[in-house]
Structure 1
Amino acid sequence: MFEQFAHDTRRIVGCAMEEARSRGDKRMGTEHLLLGALHEPGPAAVLGVTLEDAQTAASRLDATALKAIGLETKDLKRATMPTKGRKPPFSSGAKEAMASMLKHAVDQKSRQITAANLLEALLERGEHDPVSALFDELHIDRSAVRKRL
């Protein structure tokens, strides 16, 4: 499947891996794919948010989740994963999003999987998916983004 990725889509997945590592996450999830997409100007413009705003929103969501189980994050520093060596594995949600990207490309009779296919796949994730929580935290209007795509 990766050989069908357009150049920008390959960069997005690479940036998503770096986002997962820098956030100290052991798996690359759908939220990392969104953060990776925001490294590119096209997806950032379509979504109407900056990478910095999304990273801040993701950190807020992490802090809220930890607080819900009784952990205060004020003085905690985020552990980073090693930047070399093993790539973080995809979460089940990220695997499903990747399969959906391929389906969107096939439906459009495209030979390449584009950043737009990635955004479409992320926009259709369910309400309990981390990327959906991030979209909500960023106040992204999904129907407006679909129209822009």
Structure 2
Amino acid sequence: MFERFTAGARAAVTVHAPTEARRRGDRRVGTEHLLLGVLHDVEAAQTLGVDIETARSALAALDEAALAAIGIDARGVERATITESSTRLPFTSGAKATLSRALAVARRTGARRIAVVHLLAGLLDGDRTDPATNVLAEVGVDRVAVRARVVP
């Protein structure tokens, strides 16, 4: 399924994103996990101007704010992690849409393989309700400006 991906993009999607999901105790790989997976790539992190720890902290803050909005105080509560398992975590519909957008960008630019830069473009093109979009906004990334630099 991921044979059209470069080694870096394949690692971001099939290794790092599921690891990030398990680390957070999530049972599905969402766009927020894809973003964290992409941030394992040093060049992508530099392009966004965000390191992985900052993005993880922003995601945790967004989680706490969402829980607080419904009356749950989760400050100081540690999330359970899911231990490594041989079963693959399924992708959310948002994550699948991000991968489709990355493929479309790769095709539009004439690339033969989907690279990390295409994944990044797919993440930057998410709608405002997308978890990765919320993380990017939380850390102050100007998605339009970065998208223009990433894929002209």
**Inter-partner Cα distance in structure 1 for 2:121 and 2:108:** 12
Amino acid at match of 2:87: R
Number of aligned residue pairs: 149
Matches within 5 A, 1:74-89: 74-89=75-90
Deviations 1:3-33 (A, max 9, x none): 0000110111110110000001111100111
- What 5-or-longer segments of structure 2 have no aligned partner? none
**Inter-partner Cα distance in structure 1 for 2:98 and 2:51:** 22
Indicate yes or no: 2:140 matched with 1:139.
yes
Query: Which residue of 2 is the match for residue 124 of structure 1?
Result: 125
Stretches (4+) displaced over 4 A: none
Query: Which residue of 1 is the match for residue 95 of structure 2?
Result: 94
When normalised by structure 2's length, the TM-score is: 0.94
Shift of 1:146: 1.6
Amino acid at match of 1:6: T
Query: Which residue of 1 is the match for residue 3 of structure 2?
Result: 3
Amino acid at match of 1:7: A
- What 5-or-longer segments of structure 1 have no aligned partner? none
Shift of 1:111: 1.1
Give SS of 2:79's match.
coil
**Inter-partner Cα distance in structure 2 for 1:128 and 1:75:** 26
**Inter-partner Cα distance in structure 1 for 2:75 and 2:95:** 29
CA RMSD of aligned residues (A): 1.1
Amino acid at match of 1:34: L
Give SS of 2:129's match.
coil
Shift of 1:147: 2.9
Deviations 1:89-135 (A, max 9, x none): 10000001111111111112211101111011111110111111111
Give SS of 1:44's match.
helix
**Inter-partner Cα distance in structure 1 for 2:104 and 2:145:** 22
Query: Which residue of 2 is the match for residue 54 of structure 1?
Result: 55
Amino acid at match of 1:121: G
When normalised by structure 1's length, the TM-score is: 0.95
Give SS of 1:82's match.
coil
Amino acid at match of 1:50: D
Q: Which moved more, 1:118-127 or 1:83-92?
A: 83-92
